Amino acid sequence: MTIAVGDSARRTRTISEADVLAFAAASGDENPVHTDAAYAATTRFGRPIAHGMLTASLISAILGNDLPGPGSVYLNQTLSFKAPVFPGDTVTGTVECIKFREERGIATFRTTVTNQDGVLVLEGEAVILAT
DSSP 27-74: H----HHHH-HHHHTTSTTSS----HHHHHHHHHHHHHHTSS-TT-EE
State yes or no: pLDDT of 1 exceeds 70.
no
CATH fold of 8-18+50-129: Thiol Ester Dehydrase; Chain A (3.10.129)
Q: 3-class DSSP state for residue 2?
A: coil
- Extents of the domains making up the chain: 8-18+50-129
Over residues 103-114, the pLDDT tens digits come to 999 999 999 999
How confident is the prediction for the chain on average, in pLDDT? 96
Residues 45-59, mean pLDDT to the nearest whole number: 97
Mean predicted confidence (pLDDT) in 42-58: 97
Residue 15 and residue 49 in contact, taking contact as beta carbons nearer than 8 Å: no
The Cβ-side half-sphere exposure at 82, using a 13 Å CA radius, reads: 13
How many residues can be counted in the chain? 131
Share of the chain above pLDDT 90, in %: 97
Is the pLDDT at 100 greater than 90, yes or no? yes
pLDDT tens profile 61-99: 999 999 999 999 999 999 999 999 999 999 999 999 999
CB atoms near residue 111 (< 10 Å): 24
CA distances from 51 to 31, 39, 70, 104, 130 (A): 9, 15, 25, 34, 28
Write the CA distances from 118 to 91, 94, 121, integer angstroms. 9, 12, 9
